[in-house]
Amino acid sequence: MQNSIIAVKHIPMEIEETLNGLDYKEIERVADALKVMAHPVRIAILALLEDGSSKTVTEIFQALNLDQPPVSHHLILMKSKNILTCEREGKNNYYGLNVEYLKQILCCFKKCTGQNESEK
């Protein structure tokens, strides 16, 4: 049986009232990004880059003691969802966290859960 994604066309009123003025498209985008990040290898990559550094694919797969092809796959996927940035320097691609986008995700998540900045 093939997996399928069911698109929600209408949000029930009781859920709509709890969205705190957030656009449903934004919530879907954030949920999609969170799904992408929810993988052990991807979490390890995010942890490796959390110091704000940019690293090459080689530095990342060696630090994680993993094979290069699957690490490259995870990096490309996270880059495609704007979770990571990628800059080419010579023959190397340097991956880093897209801090501004991650802040947007956190902000949306806080709004969805009813938290605000003063509740840190």
Cβ atoms 36, 78 nearer than 8 A? yes
Look at residues 42, 40, 41, 62 and name the one whose alpha carbon lies nearest to residue 102: 42
Q: What is the pLDDT of residue 6?
A: 46
Percent with pLDDT over 90 in the chain: 57
Residue 9 clears pLDDT 80, i.e. is over it? no
State the CATH class of domain 23-112: mainly alpha
Of the listed ranges 17-21, 27-31, 112-116, the least confidently predicted one is: 17-21
Residue 109 clears pLDDT 60, i.e. is over it? yes
Strand (E) or helix (H) holding 64: none
